[in-house]
A and B are shown apart, each in its own frame.
Chain A
């Protein structure tokens, strides 16, 4: 059994790595643990199974999701991107972060299979995974501006 603290680090380091290298945005632990995402939000999630099963979710405001999308596509104007573009981009963010998490956990959990990411729009969105799941919830801030929530729900494979 791995300590929860370890999962926190793996998770945040993975998200930081992806934001730094592929999205060119700064992602930091939030100073305010009670920060909330106001208004319309976008939640991307990706499930995984194997030695470890669960779901990773990335939730941010719509404005943040649009900025991430523009950065990834190299586009300057929000008018040039559609909701479909934003969903695709946030799905890929989840895919890449989970890929990093998987790589970092490989020595302990060598078999983890990822699903295709899923993205929804709405308000006060939340990631859940039935009974017996451990949760790592990280409140982060992107570009010192956008409150964002990273959540990793997981349980070890029951034999």
Chain B
């Protein structure tokens, strides 16, 4: 079963880089959606949920951690895995967002192998 993915990042450049890196990782997705901040992502997830969300932390309008909390209150996201992708790497930040309902964390700079390793468990 092919999976669906959403990339949430305020930088369009970073969304492209993530998309390219995901492709290079060999993981295959049916569709890849994009959103520029947490608010836009939640609207899209509410209308049509995806299997995996890759989510930035530092974004205007609504940050990644705020988005995770809100998504975890939405029944449409019950089965959605949320993996944070950020230059943030302080253990407190990672622990905090994982406690709020994120399912993984990838730090920038990243490699295709990082995506392979962190997303593979959610592909089945």
B118 CB-CB contact with A under 8 Å: no
> Could you say which residues of chain B place their CB within 8 Å of the CB of A85?
12-13
Cβ of B109 to closest chain A Cβ, rounded Å: 4
- A18-B109 CB under 8 A given contacts A88-B11, A91-B11, A99-B87: yes
Q: Which residues of A contact B90 (CB under 8 A)?
A: 102-103, 106, 110
Q: Is B14 an interface residue (CB 8 A)?
A: yes
Asked whether B89 is an interface residue with its Cβ less than 8 Å from the other chain, the reply is yes
- Does chain B have a CB within 8 A of A67? no
Known: A95-B11, A95-B58. A72 touches B17 (CB 8 A): yes
Complex contact B11–A92 (CB within 8 A):
yes
**B14 contacts A116, C-beta separation under 8 Å:** no
Q: Does A25 contact B (CB under 8 A)?
A: no
Query: What distance in Å separates the Cβ of B34 from its nearest Cβ neighbour in chain A?
Result: 13
Say whether B16 contacts A96, CB under 8 Å. Answer: no
Are A72 and B16 touching (Cβ within 8 A)? yes
What is the size category of the interface that chain A forms with chain B? 20 to 34
Q: Is the CB of A116 within 8 A of B108?
A: no
Residues of chain B contacted by A17 (CB below 8 angstroms)? 109
Chain A residues whose C-beta falls within 8 Å of the C-beta of B109 in the assembled complex: 17-18, 21-22, 96
Given contacts A74-B20, A102-B90, A116-B58, 11 further A-B contacts (CB under 8 A): A72-B13, A89-B11, A89-B13, A91-B11, A92-B14, A95-B87, A96-B87, A99-B108, A103-B89, A106-B90, A114-B58
Selected A-B contacts with CB under 8 Å, 25 pairs:
A18-B109, A21-B109, A21-B111, A22-B17, A22-B108, A72-B13, A72-B16, A85-B12, A85-B13, A88-B11, A88-B12, A88-B13, A91-B11, A92-B14, A95-B58, A96-B108, A96-B109, A98-B87, A99-B86, A99-B89, A103-B87, A103-B90, A106-B89, A114-B58, A116-B60
